[in-house]
């Protein structure tokens, strides 16, 4: 069955008040934390394929999102980049849709309209977008997760940190138009973003993904073991070991720890004041000079 540009696998399951949990690549998926979180939820809930774009080449440039070749039982196979939707039955009164969204390269309005039409057809009640962004935070402290629900801070949820920065202005994703359309349709909108250490470049940040899962599991009463990542612990331990051999990065981390702790103390003392604790100029300069390349994926393996 076709809904907009999406081909739905039949028979179509009967879904109860479905909640969407979506990741957006590559714009706000630093460390692939949104993708990793969705994949873990899908495995736990035994998600099944539901829909994908019938002609992904209309929206994506395959010289930028590359098809992948692999072999199964000696047979050569190829996967084509696509936006996919999977579903899983929830234990409560609603079910789940897991949506892996790719940023479009062309015909963005048609793409967004198709996503909106699909969600309307499936009668979703909540749209949650999860992901990660780099920030001036140390890896030696708990990963901060900021969140909003219908534009309001979710700091009343345990583990969600209030935003301590001025509201962002600048380039953004065209996919944000989807959130606006869904809000106008009465769909609840949630955004959860893990703030990852800017000086670490991990292809897959499992600690960041685990931090996102802590919030998701709390919202949906899912098992706590989903939030445990031994691989993430090992990744950050390797970063700490490497840091001990790099005096510049060690000094940077110590300054970031001080800023992190003072911001956290400020939140506790003024109970959510909008005052912003800015980074010291020396830290800003340090981040510009070594932040992007201080520790690469290769360094931390």
Nearest 5 degrees, angle CA 101-CA 94-CA 83?
15
Nearest 5 degrees, angle CA 227-CA 233-CA 239?
140
Strands 188-197 and 19-25: unpaired
Instruction: Identify the residue whose tokens are 């490497």.
Output: 242
Q: Which two tokens stand for residue 276?
A: 């912003």
Neighbours of 296 (CB within 10 A): 14
Asked if residues 100 and 84 have their Cβ atoms less than 8 Å apart, the reply is: yes
Provide the 3-class DSSP secondary structure of residue 71.
strand
Q: Residue 40's pLDDT band (boundaries 50, 70, 90)?
A: very high
Q: How far apart are CA 175 and CA 166, in angstroms?
A: 22
Closest CA to 198 of 273, 125, 272, 143: 143
- pLDDT at position 267, please? 61
What are 113-148's pLDDT values in tens digits? 999 999 999 999 999 999 999 999 999 999 999 999
- pLDDT at position 116, please? 97
> Residue 170: CB partners within 8 Å, gap ≥ 6?
none
Containing H/E element for 70? strand 68-72
Q: How far apart are CA 47 and CA 153, in angstroms?
A: 30
Burial per residue of 188-227, b for 16 or more beta-carbon CB atoms within 10 angstroms, e otherwise: ebbbbbbbbbbbbbbeebbbbbbbbbbbbbebbebeeebb
Closest CA to 135 of 294, 300, 284, 299: 284
Helices assigned H by DSSP within the chain: 33-45, 108-122, 176-184, 206-220, 230-243, 247-270, 281-286
Q: Residue 90's pLDDT band (boundaries 50, 70, 90)?
A: very high
Domains annotated on the chain, with CATH? 2-229 (3.40.50.10900)
Asked if residues 291 and 284 have their Cβ atoms less than 8 Å apart, the reply is: no
What are 210-219's pLDDT values in tens digits? 999 999 999 9
Residue 297 has pLDDT above 70, yes or no: no
Percent of the chain with pLDDT over 70: 86
Range of weakest confidence among 152-161, 175-184, 272-281: 272-281
Please compute the mean of the pLDDT values over residues 41-54 and round it to a whole number.
97
Q: List Cα–Cα distances, 14 to 72, 87, 94, in angstroms.
A: 33, 10, 11
> Residue 152: CB partners within 8 Å, gap ≥ 6?
none
What are 228-271's pLDDT values in tens digits? 999 999 999 999 998 999 898 899 999 999 999 987 776 655 54
The residues that bridge with 131 in the sheet, in sequence order, are: 193
Asked if residues 83 and 52 have their Cβ atoms less than 8 Å apart, the reply is: yes
Asked if residues 187 and 180 have their Cβ atoms less than 8 Å apart, the reply is: no
- pLDDT at position 164, please? 59
Q: 0.75 cut: is pTM over it?
A: yes
């Amino acid at each position: 069955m076709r809904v907009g540009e999406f081909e739905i696998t039949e028979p179509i399951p009967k879904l109860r008040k479905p909640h969407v949990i979506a990741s957006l690549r590559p714009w706000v998926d630093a460390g692939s934390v949104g993708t990793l979180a969705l994949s873990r939820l899908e495995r736990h809930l035994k998600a099944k394929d539901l829909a994908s774009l019938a002609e992904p080449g209309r929206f994506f440039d395959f010289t930028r999102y590359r098809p992948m070749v692999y072999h199964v039982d000696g047979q050569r196979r190829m996967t084509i980049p696509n936006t996919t939707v999977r579903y899983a039955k929830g234990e409560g009164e609603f079910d789940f849709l897991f949506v892996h969204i790719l940023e479009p390269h062309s015909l963005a309005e048609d793409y967004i309209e198709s996503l909106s039409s699909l969600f309307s057809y499936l009668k979703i009640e909540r749209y949650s977008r999860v992901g990660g962004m780099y920030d001036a935070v140390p890896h030696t402290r708990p990963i901060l997760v900021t969140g909003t629900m219908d534009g309001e801070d979710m700091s009343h949820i345990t583990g969600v940190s209030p935003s301590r920065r001025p509201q962002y202005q600048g380039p953004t994703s065209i996919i944000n138009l989807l959130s606006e359309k869904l809000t106008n349709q009465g769909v609840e909108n949630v955004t959860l973003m893990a703030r990852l250490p800017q000086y670490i470049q991990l292809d897959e940040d499992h600690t960041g993904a685990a931090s996102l899962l802590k919030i998701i599991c709390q919202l949906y009463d899912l098992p706590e073991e989903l939030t445990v990542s031994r691989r993430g612990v090992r990744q950050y331990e390797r970063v700490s070991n490497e840091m001990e051999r790099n005096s510049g990065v060690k000094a940077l981390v110590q300054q970031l720890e001080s800023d992190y702790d003072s911001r956290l103390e400020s939140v506790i003392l003024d109970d959510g004041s909008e005052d912003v604790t800015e980074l010291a100029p020396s830290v800003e300069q340090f981040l510009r000079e070594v932040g992007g390349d201080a520790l690469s994926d290769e360094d931390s393996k």
